[in-house]
Amino acid sequence: MISISIKQIAQLIDAEIEGNENVEINNICKIEEGCPGAISFLANPQYEPYIYDTKASAVIVSKTFQPKGELKNNPTLIRVDNPYQAFAQLLRLYQDFISEKKTGEESPVFKGENVQIGKNCYIGAFVYLGKNVRIEDNAKIYPHTYIGDNVTIGKNSVLYSGVKVYHDCKIGNHVTIHAGTVIGSDGFGFAPNQENVYSKIPQLGNVIIEDNVEIGANCTIDRATIGSTIIRKGVKLDNLIQIAHNVEIGENTVIASQSGVAGSTKIGKNCMIGGQVGIIGHLKIADGTKIAAQSGIGHNIEEPNTTLQGSPAFYVGDYQRSYVVFKKLPELYKKIQELSKKIS
C-alpha cells in the first residue's frame, strides 16, 4: 500500500481525528490482526475487545464510541458517522488506485457481424462476440468470455473470465459479473404428455440486468419463457445462486450464497435474503422482507418489512419461541412416558 497520513485519510472520508494526525499509514488490516502502520475499523460491538489491545496505528470508529478501558497501544481514533461505510469507501479508493487500467484488445478475439465496441474498453484473449453485440465505453470483458448475438453490455461494466451471456440479454451500466456465471440459459420448462414424457417448452425471452448490479461467481440466471427475467438496479447476488425464468428481483435487494428462486416469483426492493434460502415459484415477496438463512418460503409475503425464519418459514419471533419448545421435546417426551407408566 502507498503511504498516506491519517490527516489525509480523514479528509478523504470526512472524519474527525482523535490522536496523532501525522502518523503514516501503509497497510490495512482487521482489528484483531493490527500492526504498526496499519489502519483498521470497529463497527460490530462483538469486536470491541480487540480495540484495547490492537497494534494498529489507527482505527475508524463511530463518533459515539466511548472506550470502556485503556487503549494500550494508543491508536489514533478516526471518528465517523458509519465506520463500516467509511472503511468500505477507503477500500474502494485504494482499489481504484492499485487496479489495472486495462484497455485495448488482446488476440485472438472472435467478432461476428456489426459488433460495436466503445471507447477505452478491454477485450481479453479468446473472447467470443456474436453478431450485433454492443459494448459501451470503459467496459472490460476478460478472457474466455462468451457474448451471444444481440447482447448489450453497458458503460463501465466488468465481465470476468468464463462468464457466458446468451443471446438477446441486456446488461446495464456499472455491472460486475464474476467468473463462471451464466446469464440467459434456458429456464426449466417442460410439459408432460399422457405417457408422462416431457417435451421442452421453448424459452424465447431474455434477461435484463439493470445498473449497479453485482453478481458473484458461478451463478445462473435463466432467460424468461416469454418476456424478461429482470434484476433491478442495485441488486447484489452472492456466489452460487439460481434465479429461474421470469423472476423479478427488486431494487437494492441482496441475496446470500446457495439460495434459489423458482420461476415467476417477484421479490420486492430492499429485501435481505440469507444463504441457502429456497423460494418456490409464482410468489410475491413484499418490499423490505428479511429471510433468515436456510429458510423455505412457500407462500406470499404481503406485509412489508417483516422478518421470517424456518422451513416452512414464518415470523421470526414466533419461530424463536417455537424453537425453545422444540429443543425440549425429547425431555418432554420422556416425562410423558414416565407419567403414562404411573397412570397405567
3-state secondary structure of 313: strand
Q: How far is 214 from 236, CA to CA, in rounded Å?
A: 5
Q: At what angle do helices 329-343 and 316-327 cross, to 10 degrees?
A: 50
Residues 6+ apart with CB under 8 A from 160: 142, 145, 176, 177, 178, 179, 217
Beta strand pairing status for 313-315 and 307-310?
A: antiparallel
User: Count of residues for the chain?
Assistant: 344
120 burial via Cβ count (<10 Å: 0-12, 13-18, 19+) = middle
- Exposure letters 296-321 (e unless 16+ CB within 10 A, then b): ebeeebeeeeeebbbeebeebeebee
Output the CA torsion sign for 151, 157, 159, 163: negative
SS3 content of the chain, % helix, strand, coil (to 5): 20, 30, 50
Q: How far is 226 from 203, CA to CA, in rounded Å?
A: 7
144 is an active site residue: no
Give the residue from 32, 24, 29, 73 showing the smallest Cα distance to 49: 32
Q: Which of 167, 178, 245, 299 is catalytic?
A: 245
Are 97 and 115 a contacting pair, CB within 8 Å? no
Give the residue from 203, 208, 173, 171 showing the smallest Cα distance to 190: 203
Q: Which residues are catalytic?
A: 245
